[in-house]
Amino acid sequence: MKILVCISNVPDTTTKVKFKEGDSLFDDSGVQWIINPWDELALTRAMELKEDAGNSVNEICVIHVGGASADATLRKALAIGADKAVRIDACPADAYHVAGQIAEYLKENPFDIIFSGIESSDYNGSSVGAMIAEFMDYPGISSVTSVNLDDDDIQVNRAIPGGKQVLKTETPFVAVVQKGIAMEPRIPSMRGIMMARKKPLEVKPAAELEVLTESIKFELPQEKGACKMIDSESAEQLVDLLKNEAKVL
Amino acid sequence: MSVIAFAKNWNGKFKNSSFELVSYTKALANQLNTNMVVLSIGELAEEELKLLGNYGADKVLTVSDPKLNTLTSRAYADIVAKAAESVGAEAIVLSDNNSGKAIAPRVSVKLKAGLVAAVQELPVSLDPFVVKKRVFSGKAFGHVQIKSDKKILTIAKNCFGLVENPCDITIEEFAVDIDTNLFKVKIVEEEEQKDKVILSDADVVVSAGRGMRSPENWAPVEELAEVLGAATACSRPVSDEGWRGHEEHVGQTGKVIAPNLYIAAGISGAIQHVAGISRSKCIVAINTDPEAPIFSVADYGIVGDVMDVLPRLTEAFRNSKS
Ligand SMILES: Cc1cc2nc3c(=O)[nH]c(=O)nc-3n(C[C@H](O)[C@H](O)[C@H](O)COP(=O)(O)OP(=O)(O)OC[C@H]3O[C@@H](n4cnc5c(N)ncnc54)[C@H](O)[C@@H]3O)c2cc1C
């Protein structure tokens, strides 16, 4: 069984975002890039499934749509343990374009399970995984909090408001994963980093695909006014302010 | 031409987010000078469907097939796309929640319609069609142009509010062939806590962090939540440690919420935490450290120990009710 993990390359979560060229572009000067946190958890879970001798996962490949600047992030994914990395050399213009590129790759290179994160922490589109499923006409499961294999029988947990569902699916399928899929993201070991240098990182040309949306400009949220401090003995005062000033009760 | 809204129900009931969706879509239809059609999928009582008429819906299409009572994203997307085609929709609007996230991308591919998720307000401009959305996990907003003729939006919770607009409503069954091949995912078990306030729907949220010091100390948090009819939430380390379940984790890597009131107890206010709560209307922070970053995003703050302050607040809220 083969698992494909979609990787988005995003600014470190502590990044203070800034924009340039009349607020039309993200200013990436000084930005540290990381594997999108959910994608990192998905890769961790894929590794756990492969290491569990009870099932037949024998290949984990990571895929990214973007320029060469993401290669360091893909090397990190290889150091964590992926067997192979593929980069589709295209500007990741929008979710439709990214999902379409990955679907083109999948048509030539089939996988059994495709993992994607619930959203990428830069453009928060929450769309790539479900779009891949639709391009490929595969079943897809969203809000996935666990994936287990038992003799290739697949069991997936999905979070629903106030609870969970246990699902069974056939392969191939797309799992859009969120918190819970793995406990902690794996950190590459020294040996993993050494081995990653020799693992394949294939660069594929982009397919001709349409772009349906375009980012025009950015704005920062309005600054918050000062915080009104209330004495810890005066709980009634806070209740009164919430009722009559903030009007949120 | 028209615009179509997909109003999801949960166990036969709409939520406020469904009514907010209809309110928003009605305003969008007015802006575009066209009419609105609302689509409902699954069996639903007529009285429930009529509630949509309070928010500007005059025409509802329903597909009341029992096979569709629970979400099957593939089949739902197929129906949304077919309904949109049949009414000649130029815009399709869904809620930005679990089901919207599962369906909208599929409809986008089916119809080659540009999708923008987590839209914050009515379009900034119509020609070109530009909408404002949350980006960088709430650290900024982006203006995005949709270039295709058909447009799909999912709208963020609490971005628009409810707009009452009573209308005479006609309900029509939408006849559609449902391909049984689209039901490949089978539900084998389902658990739902019916008595609990659901975090993503809650108007008031009481959230606690590592400042609670131990999972045994959660009673004051739960008591305050109970008095307020609030949902409980927590910071990431609290759920990572297993003090609370993952479903309570809010922030950049957990849930993104937008309640009217968010009470943060013993939470430092790390940038990744704030990413998940910054759209709350009002934030109250309780922390022993007057320099804690949470105070720079809070509207009201109390410097003090959670174990003293929370019971006092519970008492004050209880008294104010009676
Ligand atoms: C990739 C990444 C993603 C992340 N995603 C998230 C996320 O989604 N959500 C999230 O929450 N975090 C996230 N984090 C973690 C984040 O950086 C912080 O570590 C975390 O939010 C801190 O949690 P906390 O406020 O509960 O704990 P702490 O930072 O330890 O803060 C505890 C606070 O409690 C106060 N306190 C202590 N005792 C008391 C008392 N008796 N009474 C009152 N106050 C008291 C202290 O002054 C302190 O301010 C992420 C981190 C990374 C690297």
CA of B225 to the centre of ligand 1 (A): 20
Residue A233 lies in a domain: no
pLDDT value of position A164: 93
Q: For residue A73, tell me if it sits in a domain.
A: yes
Please return the burial class of B170, using the count of CB atoms within 10 Å of its CB with bins 0-12, 13-18 and 19+: exposed
Residues B192 and B164 sit within 8 Å (Cβ to Cβ): no
**Residue B19 shares a structural domain with residue B165:** yes
Alpha helices in chain B (DSSP H): 16-31, 46-50, 73-86, 98-111, 219-228, 236-240, 271-274, 306-321
CB B189 within 8 A of CB A166: yes
Has residue B148 been placed in a domain?
yes
Q: Mark whether B169 and B88 lie in a shared domain.
A: yes
CB contact under 8 A, A246 and B116: no
pTM attached to this predicted model? 0.95
A211 in a structural domain: yes
B101-122 pLDDT tens trace = 999 999 999 999 999 999 999 9
Instruction: Write down the pLDDT at residue B129.
Output: 98
Residue B252, domain CATH: 3.40.50.1220
Amino acid identity of B35? N
- Is the domain of B172 the same as that of B211? no
Q: CA–CA distance from B170 to each of A55, A196, B86, B164, B225 (Å)?
A: 54, 62, 17, 18, 40
Residue B141 sits in a domain whose CATH number is 3.40.50.620
Q: Which two tokens stand for residue B290?
A: 């007057």
User: Which residues have any ligand 1 atom within 6 Å of their CB?
Assistant: A 13, 37; B 209-211, 235-238, 251-254, 266-268, 270, 272-273, 276, 286-289, 292, 305-306
* Dihedral over alpha carbons B151, B157, B162, B167 (to 10 degrees): 40
Ligand 1 centroid from CA B234, angstroms = 9
Confidence of residue A151 (pLDDT cuts 50, 70, 90): confident
Tell me if A235 is assigned to some domain: no
Chain B residues in contact with A235 by the CB 8 A cut-off are 309, 312-313, 315-316
How far is B21 from B18, CA to CA, in rounded Å? 5
**Neighboring chain A residues of B311 at a CB cutoff of 8 Å:** none
| CATH number (domain holding residue A37) | 3.40.50.620
Q: Per-residue pLDDT averaged across A119-123, rounded?
A: 85
In a domain, B227, yes or no: yes
Tell whether A226 is covered by a domain.
no
Residue B297 domain-assigned (yes or no): yes
Q: Identify the band that residue B191 occupies on the pLDDT scale cut at 50, 70 and 90.
A: very high
**How many angstroms does the Cα of residue A112 sit away from the middle of ligand 1?**
38
A62, A40 contact by CB (below 8 A): no
Count up the domains in chain A and report the number.
1
Q: Give residue A112's domain range.
A: 2-221
Looking at the fold, whether B13 and B129 belong to one and the same domain comes out as yes
**How do residues A9-21 score in pLDDT, each as one tens digit?**
999 999 999 999 9
In a domain? residue A246? no
| pLDDT per position as a tens digit, A212-221 | 999 999 999 8
* pLDDT of B195: 81
**Residue A14 sits at the chain B interface (C-beta within 8 Å):** yes
| 3-class secondary-structure state, position A58 | coil
Phi-psi region of B155 (alpha: psi -120 to 50; beta: other; left: phi over 0): beta
Does residue B149 sit in the same domain as residue B243? no
In this complex, do B114 and A228 lie within 8 Å of one another by their Cβ atoms? no
Cβ within 8 Å, pair B253-A38: yes
Q: Quick one: pLDDT band at residue B305, thresholds 50, 70, 90? A: very high
**Quick one: pLDDT band at residue B196, thresholds 50, 70, 90?**
confident
* Residue B174 and residue B83 in one domain: yes
Q: What is the pLDDT of residue A123?
A: 85
Do B155 and B268 fall within a single domain?
no
- Domain enclosing residue B274, as ranges: 199-321
Q: How many domains does chain B have?
A: 2
Does one domain contain both B16 and B145?
yes
Which phi and psi (to 5°) does residue B220 adopt?
-60, -30
* Burial classification of residue A232, based on how many CB atoms lie within 10 Å of its CB (0-12 exposed, 13-18 middle, 19 or more buried): middle
The DSSP string of A89-108 is: ES---SHHHHHHHHHHHHHH
Q: pLDDT tens-digit profile of B20-50? A: 999 999 999 999 999 999 999 999 999 999 9
- Report which of residues A142 and A151 the model is more confident about: A142
pLDDT at A124 over 90: no
pLDDT of residue A208: 94
